[in-house]
Structure 1
Amino acid sequence: MANFHLYFASCALLLILRPSTGLPVRNLSPEYHAQCPELFKNLLLNIKEVLKSDDLCSSIMSDTVAIKSKAETVLACAPALAQTSSCIGQSSSSFSENECLSNITKDLAHYDALIQSYLNSSLKSPEKEAKLLNPTLGIIKSLRENCSLKAAEDDDSSEEDVAQTWDAGSFNNRQEMCKMMRGFYVRTITINRAMGYISAGDYKK
């Protein structure tokens, strides 16, 4: 009986936490399905290489991961409960494609502003770090132009929102950026899983 109550409580909690939206599901074009998942994979690989570089995380002893984006991508892009559990009353319609993509768009805006703001802060090796991070910005730009749910000018993030992250010390800035790029890597793994789920389209059945 105790297990049943725990199971029921877990299902109820998931119902409460899952974001709801009245937005209709978009019919994504074949071009979207062909291009955008590949771009997100490229972003993941790019961030992985950035984190390996000596120009960013070298001599950073902490292995802390920081995620400061206000987007609720993990929750919004969680697969429909009917696909992962037997909670009574749940159906695949509880997954909102628009809600998921909207939060991914917010993440892209946040990290775009974050990286640009960092490159304008006090840096030990400005040219090396710009060379390292500009390809990341290029991929984010392509994603925001081709794979976002809303126009760039409507995004909630801006450089002003993240500029307060940096101080006058290049080491402290680099340490903070290293932690947040680790967070970006973790978030991009979530986004890639979400894109795979959207491309499969099982939640529409």
Structure 2
Amino acid sequence: MAHCNLYFTSCVLLLLTLNWRASMSVPVPTLSAQDRAHCSQLFRKLLLNITGLRNSAVLCFGITSENVVLRSEAETVLACAPPQTQNSSCMMQRNSPFSETECLRNIMKDIAYYEAVIRSYLNATLRNTVEETALLMPTLEIIKSLKENCSLEPNGETSSSEEDVAVQVWGNNTFDNRNEMCKIMRGFHIRTITINRAMGYISSGDHRK
């Protein structure tokens, strides 16, 4: 009988411990419906900005190559892919449930990476400092708003890994610098399209049904 009481007491203590841990666990961060709508608008604004930047004669002047560079370590494409559905041939669909938190965190990793690239470029030797700064500063302003309003981290903080990856060795040849930056911005344009599709899926609320 004593053994039974001891076993019962142990089970109760275990259940109480598990319940306490569950109650003390940190809730999964996410955006409110209002924030989702606001962030979707900001990302659309970013896409329009990057589209104009990519087509600008200032940054890509005299550059005939159509090469694209994607170096960000964020896994946005996979993290933001919708869950797999029947009768779908999409290669980027995922078998696991969609995680809004994981998707948003990878998006913000991308944003931090491209912010660091742009800032490093503006500190490099430029063909026309005034024109190129005027072209890229609006992009940095949009990114600032995104970090302030759409990040799941306190104060829009990001780890230093994105900045480390974004360290770009710019030379003294302004054409080579612009050529590389033009390719990176083309990659940013492609990634921004992906991000806008992801934000559309998040805003639709389909993953919460």
**TM-score relative to the length of structure 1:** 0.80
For structure 2, list consecutive stretches of 5 or more residues without a partner in the other structure. 1-25
CA contact (8 A) 2:76 2:103 kept: yes
CA contact (8 A) 2:69 2:184 kept: yes
1:193 matched residue in structure 2? 197
User: Does 2:52 correspond to 1:77?
Assistant: no
Picking from 108, 114, 129, the partner of 2:132 is: 129
Task: Give how far 1:105 is off.
Answer: 0.8
Picking from 28, 41, 44, the partner of 2:47 is: 44
1:61 matched residue in structure 2? 64
- The alignment-based identity, stated in percent, is 56
Per-residue deviation, residues 36-61 of structure 1 (Å, max 9, x unmatched): 00000000000111112111011111
Residue 201 to residue 147, structure 1, CA distance change in 2 (3 Å): same
User: Does 2:180 correspond to 1:176?
Assistant: yes
CA contact (8 A) 1:26 1:97 kept: no
User: Does 2:34 correspond to 1:31?
Assistant: yes
Query: How many residues are treated as equivalent by the alignment?
Result: 180
CA contact (8 A) 1:25 1:97 kept: no
User: Does 2:110 correspond to 1:107?
Assistant: yes
Matched letter for residue 186 of structure 2: R
For structure 1, list consecutive stretches of 5 or more residues without a partner in the other structure. 1-22
SS of the equivalent of 1:94 reads coil
Name the CA distance, whole Å, in 2 between partners of 1:84 and 1:26: 33
Bigger CA radius of gyration: 2
**TM-score relative to the length of structure 2:** 0.79
SS of the equivalent of 1:55 reads coil
Name the CA distance, whole Å, in 1 between partners of 2:122 and 2:95: 43
1:117 matched residue in structure 2? 120
1:156 matched residue in structure 2? 160
2:11 matched residue in structure 1? none
Task: Give how far 1:203 is off.
Answer: 1.4
Name the CA distance, whole Å, in 1 between partners of 2:84 and 2:180: 36
